């Protein structure tokens, strides 16, 4: 079943220097429960797509359909996790989850909501830090709280904009494994749209990789990841099929950058 449809999606903005087209006539379908990664150079429109999916921005032309209905704003059916931690600094980890849950569990008692919050904090390994404030948590721990909050609200779609980009390598690996575990334990019913600039991360996580083109605001290529789940990173990264796919993606990723540099050369 198709969950998201983009039809001839174009997004432009104006400033004092003129009008700029960030995305141009994008057509894309995402299946229910599918995990897609969007990659591409800086400025290719990856984060803009996430904002459009979230209902924070609106198309200049074309449309985005969710379950056959056009997106007209934000909604509890979509959870969002950004690169920079979006927790309320004056609330503890637990209260950050409780606040979000109150928006979607209006018929539930406070005790029921707190139990859900505690369950998800335990799932991300932070049951002993539920009363800590964001300033008392490491970057990786803050991002785990953000993931727990997004998933606890039970969204149909999880939108993630380079969520692990601001944490160190060790925490990044742990968060990748955590996200996959929570998604797979949920029977893959949540549709995930994951923006990253990390090719290895895209291959490890996604069912399909969308490669954006630099400068033109278009989709350059859609590639299905051929590896079965669950994926063992330590084993997968040693195989020839993985190396071949990675080399192909690297070529697609950097072709546009090379073309831009060649265009700048004056003979």
Predicted confidence (pLDDT) per residue in 230-259, tens digit? 888 888 989 999 999 999 999 887 776 555
8 A C-beta contact, residue 195 and residue 116: no
For 207, which DSSP code?
S
Question: Given a cut of 50, is residue 23 above it in pLDDT?
Answer: yes
Task: Give me the pLDDT at residue 178, please.
Answer: 83
- Domain for residue 83, yes or no? no
> Tell me, what CATH number does 197's domain have?
3.40.50.300
Q: What average pLDDT does the segment 192-204 reach?
A: 94
Task: Give me the pLDDT at residue 144, please.
Answer: 87
Distances (CA, A) of 10 to 2, 52, 68, 70, 74: 21, 10, 19, 15, 19
Task: Give me the pLDDT at residue 220, please.
Answer: 93
- Domain for residue 37, yes or no? yes
> How many domains does the chain fold into?
1
- Domain for residue 247, yes or no? yes
What residues make up the domain containing 233? 2-77+155-264
Q: What average pLDDT does the segment 129-147 reach?
A: 90
Predicted confidence (pLDDT) per residue in 140-195, tens digit? 888 889 888 888 888 899 999 988 887 788 878 888 888 888 888 876 789 999 99
Burial class (CB in 10 A: 0-12, 13-18, 19+), 10: middle
- Domain for residue 191, yes or no? yes
- Which has the higher per-residue pLDDT, 266 or 136? 136
Question: Given a cut of 50, is residue 267 above it in pLDDT?
Answer: no
Confidence of residue 260 (pLDDT cuts 50, 70, 90): low
Distance CA 35, CA 187 (A): 12
Task: Give me the pLDDT at residue 205, please.
Answer: 94
**Partner residues linked to 78 by β-bridges:** 157
- Among 2, 133, 114, smallest CA distance to 68 is for 2
Task: Give me the pLDDT at residue 264, please.
Answer: 44
Predicted confidence (pLDDT) per residue in 60-76, tens digit? 999 999 999 999 898 88
Distance CA 242, CA 234 (A): 11
Question: Given a cut of 70, is residue 86 above it in pLDDT?
Answer: yes
Question: How many Cα atoms are found within 13 Å in the side-chain-facing hemisphere of 263?
Answer: 7
Q: What average pLDDT does the segment 104-120 reach?
A: 89
Cα angle 236, 241, 246 (rounded to 5 degrees) comes to 85
> What does the block give as tokens for 59?
């198309």
Q: Are strands 191-195 and 2-15 parallel, antiparallel or unpaired?
A: unpaired
- Domain for residue 238, yes or no? yes
Task: Give me the pLDDT at residue 258, please.
Answer: 58
Question: Given a cut of 90, is residue 36 above it in pLDDT?
Answer: yes
* pLDDT cut 70: percent of the chain above it: 94
- Domain for residue 117, yes or no? no
Confidence of residue 266 (pLDDT cuts 50, 70, 90): very low
Question: Given a cut of 70, is residue 128 above it in pLDDT?
Answer: yes
Task: Give me the pLDDT at residue 259, please.
Answer: 57
- Domain for residue 194, yes or no? yes
What contacts 82, CB < 8 A, 6 or more positions away? 146, 161, 162, 163
139: left (phi over 0), alpha (psi -120 to 50) or beta: alpha
According to the per-residue pLDDT averaged within each range, which of 13-17, 135-139, 205-209, 210-214 is highest?
205-209
- Domain for residue 252, yes or no? yes
8 A C-beta contact, residue 167 and residue 144: no
Looking at every residue in the chain, the average pLDDT score rounds to: 88
Distances (CA, A) of 238 to 99, 226, 228, 234, 243: 43, 15, 15, 7, 8
Task: Give me the pLDDT at residue 165, please.
Answer: 80
8 A C-beta contact, residue 196 and residue 142: no
């Amino acid at each position: 079943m198709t969950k998201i449809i983009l039809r001839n999606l174009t997004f432009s903005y104006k400033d004092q220097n003129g009008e700029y087209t960030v995305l141009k006539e994008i057509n894309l379908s995402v299946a229910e429960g599918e995990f897609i990664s969007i990659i591409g150079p800086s400025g290719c429109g990856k984060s803009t797509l996430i904002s459009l999916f979230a209902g924070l921005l609106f198309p200049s032309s074309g449309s985005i359909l969710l379950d056959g209905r056009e997106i007209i704003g934000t909604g509890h059916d979509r959870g969002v996790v950004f690169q920079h931690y979006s927790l309320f600094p004056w609330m503890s980890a637990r209260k950050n989850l409780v606040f979000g849950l109150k928006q979607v569990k209006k018929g539930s008692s406070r005790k029921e909501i707190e139990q859900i919050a505690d369950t998800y904090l335990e799932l991300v390994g932070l049951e002993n830090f539920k009363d800590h404030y964001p300033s008392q948590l490491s970057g990786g721990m803050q991002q785990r709280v953000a993931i727990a909050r997004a998933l606890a609200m039970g969204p149909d779609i999880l939108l993630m904009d380079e969520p692990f980009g601001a944490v160190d390598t060790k925490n990044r690996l742990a968060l990748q494994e955590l996200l996959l575990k929570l998604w797979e334990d949920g029977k893959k019913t949540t549709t995930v749209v994951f923006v990253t600039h990390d090719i290895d991360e895209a291959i490890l996580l996604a069912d399909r990789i969308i490669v954006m083109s630099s400068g033109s605001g278009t989709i350059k290529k859609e590639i299905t990841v051929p590896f079965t789940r669950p994926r063992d990173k330590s084993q997968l990264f040693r195989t020839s099929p993985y190396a071949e796919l990675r080399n192909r993606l690297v070529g697609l990723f950097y072709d546009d950058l090379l073309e831009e540099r060649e265009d700048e050369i004056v003979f």
